[in-house]
C-alpha cells in the first residue's frame, strides 16, 4: 500500500455502530480493540472503519474468529 492509498483510507474513515449477537462461548481476554456495550446477548460495538461492511466484518471476526475465544 503506497502513501496515497493510506491517505485516502484515512480520509474515508468513519465511526460506525454494529450490533451483533454475542456467541455463548465468547469471553473477554486481553485488551478490547473496540468500544463495546453488551445488553443481554446483544453487543453494541462502536468502531472506526472505511465502510459499514468493513465494520461488520471486523466485529464478526472479533466475536466469531478470535482464537482466544475458541
- Three cell numbers written together for 48: 472506526
Task: Identify the pLDDT of residue 7.
Answer: 94
pTM reported for the whole predicted model: 0.83
Residues 21-40 have a mean pLDDT of 90
Say which residues have a Cβ less than 8 Å from residue 6's Cβ, sequence separation at least 6: none
Residue 26 has, within 13 A of its CA and on its CB side, a CA count of: 18
* Residues in the chain, overall count: 70
Residues 31-56 have a mean pLDDT of 95
Q: For residue 31, is pLDDT > 80?
A: yes
Q: For residue 69, is pLDDT > 60?
A: no
Amino acid at each position: 500500500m503506497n502513501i496515497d492509498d493510506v491517505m485516502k483510507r484515512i480520509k474515508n474513515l468513519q465511526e460506525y455502530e454494529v450490533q451483533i449477537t454475542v456467541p455463548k462461548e465468547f469471553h473477554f481476554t486481553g485488551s478490547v480493540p473496540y468500544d463495546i456495550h453488551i445488553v443481554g446477548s446483544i453487543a453494541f460495538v462502536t468502531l472506526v472503519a472505511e465502510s459499514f461492511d468493513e465494520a461488520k466484518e471486523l466485529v464478526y471476526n472479533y466475536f466469531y474468529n478470535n482464537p482466544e475465544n475458541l
